């Protein structure tokens, strides 16, 4: 049986392998995004020619495809030992901060590759729960090889990152570091030392996991409530509704964006979580769209798309 150090080393190798895999996925996604941009450009050009054809007397009724939806990505972490039933009894402490500090932490989280995909409510709660730490010049913030459980945002001063005897980089205010500690239960991969007197904001793994699980359970409960209000789903058993709630994806639209175009092929069912949408119908190509109704939070549309 391997020693703890052997297991930690094996875990570190696995994390590095996952990083390389994620890097490859990012490259492939970038390539797909490039191709998607080309497809949209071609579609726009095609629509322009079709519109020109319509204006010259064509009666063909063309409808652009539904716009691409911006799906919120998620970050994954190790399985947590927290019991969901105990989450309501776990107290999250809020720490007082100046408005400048809150803005700096918020901006740093949004610029971090792991944190930027969190929902705004989750980021806001993390900002509230981060506690202050001050260290003098020369102090070690993170020691390579130690077990890590804190993630930091640097507000004042400068720190240096080294691995072994090699200097990797320096970190200036407004940056996140040590984030792997709240995603994976692993040893620190580098040493971070204060080059000046520094001020940090930090949150530990349990606090982070509590925030993620609590907001996740609240969101799942909201999804279940929405689904129970849809007539097409009212006869479904609870376990099936729960699975549907698990696969719902949060989507954001700006004011004035088209969500569904009349005549376009539909394959998506929508439930409104925030905001309002306007429903219109165009009875003929020569008439202006007619206003039908306004839908708001808890309303749904597009359910027929699930039936083919």
Q: Are residues 272 and 241 located together in one domain of the fold?
A: no
How many domains, in total, are found in the chain?
A: 3
**CATH classification at residue 88:** 2.60.120.10
Q: Are residues 8 and 19 located together in one domain of the fold?
A: yes
CB 228 within 8 A of CB 132: no
End residue of a domain, out of 49, 68, 87: 68
For residue 268, the enclosing domain spans 251-308
Residues within the annotated binding site?
A: 179, 188, 303
Q: Are residues 178 and 292 located together in one domain of the fold?
A: no
Q: Are residues 52 and 84 located together in one domain of the fold?
A: no
Mean pLDDT for the chain overall: 80
**Could you report the per-residue pLDDT of 173-203, keeping only the tens digit for each?**
999 999 887 777 678 889 999 999 999 999 9
Q: Are residues 83 and 61 located together in one domain of the fold?
A: no
* Listed residue (290, 282, 239) closest to 263, CA to CA: 282
pTM score, whole prediction:
0.55
For the chain, percent of residues with pLDDT exceeding 70? 78
Q: Which residues have a Cβ under 8 Å from the Cβ of 298 and sit 6 or more positions away?
A: 226, 229, 271, 272
Residue 73 placed within a domain: no
Residue 184 placed within a domain: yes
Residue 161 placed within a domain: yes
Residue 74 placed within a domain: no
Residue 44 placed within a domain: yes
Q: Are residues 260 and 297 located together in one domain of the fold?
A: yes
CB 204 within 8 A of CB 150: yes
Residues within the annotated binding site for 3',5'-cyclic AMP?
A: 179, 188, 303
**Could you report the per-residue pLDDT of 202-233, keeping only the tens digit for each?**
998 888 888 888 877 878 888 888 788 777 77
3 state SS for 227-254: HHCCHHHCCCCHHHHHHHHHHCCCEECC
């Amino acid at each position: 049986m391997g020693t703890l150090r052997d297991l930690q080393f094996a875990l570190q190798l696995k994390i590095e392998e996952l990083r390389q895999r994620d890097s490859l996925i990012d490259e492939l996604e970038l390539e797909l995004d490039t191709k998607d941009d080309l497809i949209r450009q071609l579609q726009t050009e095609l629509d322009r020619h079709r519109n020109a054809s319509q204006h010259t007397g064509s009666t063909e009724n063309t409808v652009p495809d539904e716009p691409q939806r911006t799906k919120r990505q998620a970050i994954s972490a190790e399985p947590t030992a927290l019991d969901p039933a105990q989450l309501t009894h776990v107290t999250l402490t809020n720490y007082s901060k100046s408005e400048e500090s809150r803005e700096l932490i918020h901006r740093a989280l949004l610029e971090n590759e792991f944190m930027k995909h969190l929902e705004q409510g989750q980021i806001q709660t993390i900002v509230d729960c981060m506690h202050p730490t001050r260290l003098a010049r020369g102090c070690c913030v993170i020691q390579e090889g130690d077990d890590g459980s804190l993630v930091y945002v640097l507000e004042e001063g400068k720190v240096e990152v080294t691995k072994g005897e090699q200097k990797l980089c320096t970190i200036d205010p407004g940056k996140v570091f040590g984030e792997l500690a709240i995603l994976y239960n692993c040893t620190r991969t580098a040493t971070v030392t204060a080059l000046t007197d520094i001020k940090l904001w930090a949150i530990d793994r349990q606090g982070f996991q509590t925030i993620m699980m609590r907001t996740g359970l609240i969101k799942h409960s909201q999804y279940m409530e929405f689904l129970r209000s849809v007539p097409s789903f009212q006869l479904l058993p609870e376990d099936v509704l729960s699975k549907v709630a698990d696969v719902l994806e949060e989507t954001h639209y700006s004011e004035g964006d088209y969500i569904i175009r009349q005549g376009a092929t539909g394959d998506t069912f929508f439930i409104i979580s925030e905001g309002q949408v306007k429903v219109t119908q165009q009875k003929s190509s020569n008439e202006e769209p007619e206003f039908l109704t306004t839908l708001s939070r808890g309303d749904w549309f597009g359910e027929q798309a699930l039936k083919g």
